[in-house]
Amino acid sequence: TITVLPCKYPESLEQGKGIPIYVGIQNPDKCLCCEEVDGQPTLQLKEEEILDLYNHPEPKKPFLFYHTQTGRTSTFESVAFPGHFIASSKSGEPIFLTSEQGKYYNINFNLDIGP
């Protein structure tokens, strides 16, 4: 199950880039996170409960993504590394972080939010 929660304190982040959200994966509780690895911004999966991030008294930027929706497609830009987006190369392959928008990798996702 994927859980998406908004940041409680978006006013301290850059405005006009989308809705800042946390992205969690349950069982076990992990969240997507962006960190520098060998000098490159890298998408990680960290053991962190999304509700702990949501209730933290200030935004935890490595765990935040700007969610922008255009029609039925969504993009997710790293708050910690502006210009870097969650991307995929092929169906069934792992997601990763890229700054190469639309060149080789897909950064547009269909996100169906339901009950």
Burial class (CB in 10 A: 0-12, 13-18, 19+), 57: exposed
Instruction: Give the architecture-level CATH label for domain 2-110.
Output: Trefoil (2.80)
Band (115; pLDDT cuts 50, 70, 90): low
Band (32; pLDDT cuts 50, 70, 90): very high
Q: How far apart, in whole angstroms, are the C-alpha atoms of residue 64 and residue 92?
A: 24
Q: Does the predicted TM-score (pTM) go above 0.85?
A: yes
pLDDT per residue as tens digits for the range 43-83: 999 999 999 999 999 999 999 999 999 988 999 999 999 99
Name the residue ranges covered by the structural domains of the chain: 2-110
Q: In percent, how much of the chain has pLDDT > 90?
A: 66
- Token code pair at residue 99: 């700054």
Q: How far apart, in whole angstroms, are the C-alpha atoms of residue 15 and residue 109?
A: 22
